[in-house]
């Protein structure tokens, strides 16, 4: 089959998707309110709240057929929003929740919003993991190390994106944020409008970790730089695909920020000059790490009527062929932690590995601080929002 062109294969923006998903969410929630007699078939149902990829039919259809299970999946666009939905009572709606790593350990489990997994069932599967995720992996465990909180699967580094035909990868790595945010780059980059990621990388560019409480002086430095980030950009967009297209057609040179997954589809479509780059030097309080790496944690929700298929689904996600399907779901391609298993690695072509920049992946991850909660987030988000409003005024 002829591969789709870049324009054909790219998915819709997350903001558009959110609006279209509202009806699905309402339908699932309504089902959760049905009386007991009407929910007799609950054993054959499962509802998933997830980042894009796990809602792909090529991931879900084999599970549906094998387990004779009705699976409904809604994509999310914000970890904090998803956490707040569970807090507001949607634990009765969802069976599976898929979020970035810190939320399970920091908030979901302490607030009794997720259930720990059966370690005897899942620990043997950890043999499939890459060495950096070896057992017991910090972000998969509770603070006391006694409970397994979920499955780690997709992961990746985040820094900036650059068209290496315009600026070499080495130059961007060596000069990092200073180059991207310099006067010479004004009007030549886009801002990928994933709020928390813009905030994290702006703090890194300002010279300090976002994962600690910030002083008034640091917040002042952050505010000045955030205005520069927003005002000097060619455009702002929450559509990673529009940004990739801008890099391809030459209207921009790079993106602030950018991860492997935000450019992997474009690379797979033949645009190998587009690259995620992690700056070589970062703040002292991150140990010199300038990027942020994320790892998704997929957990079972503390649903009073949790589907018995929920744990089956997580175990299914460890199957080599499922790992590959999750890794290369429509529109966004990511490495998975199970690539430590030879059976999983055997499923990738050289072209696919190149799309996810596998040759430099371990080195890039080593230059990243782990994604974590942002203590000063409310204040920093207010600054971010004000800068965006001022640009649009």
Please report the pLDDT score of residue 77 as a whole number: 79
Range with the lowest mean pLDDT among 35-39, 94-98, 186-190?
35-39
Q: Is residue 57 part of a domain?
A: yes
Q: Is residue 354 part of a domain?
A: no
Q: What percent of the chain has pLDDT over 90?
A: 86
Across the chain, mean pLDDT equals 91
Please report the pLDDT score of residue 332 as a whole number: 82
Segment 360-372 mean pLDDT: 97
Please report the pLDDT score of residue 11 as a whole number: 40
301, 379: one domain: no
Q: Is residue 233 part of a domain?
A: yes
10, 25: one domain: yes
| Domain that includes residue 272, residue range | 156-292+369-392
CATH of the domain at 147: 3.40.190.10
Segment 79-86 mean pLDDT: 94
pLDDT tens digits for 176-189? 999 999 999 999 99
Q: Is residue 363 part of a domain?
A: no
Segment 227-255 mean pLDDT: 97
Q: What percent of the chain has pLDDT over 70?
A: 89
Range 178-183 contact pairs with CB under 8 angstroms and sequence separation of 24 or more: 178/205, 180/205, 180/254, 180/256, 181/205, 181/225, 181/228, 181/229, 181/232, 181/256
276, 237: one domain: yes
222, 126: one domain: no
215, 276: one domain: yes
229, 323: one domain: no
Q: Is residue 352 part of a domain?
A: no
281, 309: one domain: no
Q: What are the CA-CA distances from residue 82 to residues 51, 203, 230, 331, 360 (Å)?
A: 10, 24, 26, 22, 32
Please report the pLDDT score of residue 24 as a whole number: 52
180, 219: one domain: yes
14, 139: one domain: yes
Q: Is residue 171 part of a domain?
A: yes
Segment 331-343 mean pLDDT: 95
72, 200: one domain: no
Q: Is residue 286 part of a domain?
A: yes
- pLDDT value at 16 more than 80: no
- pLDDT value at 212 more than 70: yes
Please report the pLDDT score of residue 42 as a whole number: 58
Rounded to 5°, the CA angle 45-50-56 comes to 75
**How many structural domains comprise the chain?**
2
pTM check: above 0.85:
yes
Segment 231-242 mean pLDDT: 96
Q: Is residue 355 part of a domain?
A: no
102, 144: one domain: yes
112, 13: one domain: yes
pLDDT tens digits for 264-288? 999 999 999 999 999 999 999 999 9
């Amino acid at each position: 089959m002829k591969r789709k062109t870049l324009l054909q294969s790219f998915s819709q923006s997350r903001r558009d998707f959110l609006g279209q998903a509202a009806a699905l969410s309402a339908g699932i929630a309504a089902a959760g309110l049905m009386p007991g007699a009407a929910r007799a078939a609950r054993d054959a149902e499962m509802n998933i709240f997830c980042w894009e990829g796990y809602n792909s039919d090529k991931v879900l259809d084999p599970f549906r057929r094998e387990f004779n299970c009705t699976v409904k999946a809604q994509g999310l666009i914000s970890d904090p929003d998803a956490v707040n939905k569970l807090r507001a009572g949607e634990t009765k709606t969802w069976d599976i929740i898929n979020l970035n790593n810190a939320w399970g350990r920091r908030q979901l489990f302490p607030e009794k919003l997720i259930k720990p997994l059966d370690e005897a069932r899942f620990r043997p599967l950890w043999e499939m993991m890459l060495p950096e995720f070896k057992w017991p992996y910090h972000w998969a465990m509770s603070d006391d190390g006694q409970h397994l909180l979920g499955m780690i699967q997709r992961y990746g580094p985040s820094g900036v994106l650059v068209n290496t035909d315009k600026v070499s990868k080495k130059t961007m790595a060596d000069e990092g944020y200073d180059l991207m945010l310099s006067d010479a780059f004004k009007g030549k980059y886009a801002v990928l409008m994933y709020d928390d990621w813009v905030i994290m990388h702006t703090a890194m560019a300002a010279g300090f970790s976002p994962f600690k409480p910030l002083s008034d002086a640091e917040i002042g430095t952050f505010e000045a730089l955030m205005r520069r980030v927003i005002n000097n950009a060619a455009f702002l967009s929450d559509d990673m695909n529009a940004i990739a297209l801008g890099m391809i057609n030459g209207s921009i040179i790079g993106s602030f920020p950018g991860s492997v997954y935000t450019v992997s589809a474009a690379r797979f479509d033949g645009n190998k000059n587009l690259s995620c780059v992690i700056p070589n030097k970062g703040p002292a309080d991150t140990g010199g790490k300038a990027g942020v790496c994320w790892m998704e944690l997929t957990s079972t929700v503390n649903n009073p009527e949790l589907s018995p298929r929920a744990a089956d689904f997580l175990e299914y996600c460890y199957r080599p062929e499922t790992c590959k399907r999750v890794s290369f779901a429509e529109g966004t391609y990511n490495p998975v932690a199970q690539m430590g298993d030879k059976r999983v690695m055997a499923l990738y072509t050289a072209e696919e590995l190149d799309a996810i920049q596998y040759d430099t992946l371990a080195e890039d991850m080593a230059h990243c601080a782990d994604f974590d909660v942002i203590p000063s987030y409310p204040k920093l988000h207010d600054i971010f929002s004000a800068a965006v409003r001022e640009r649009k005024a």
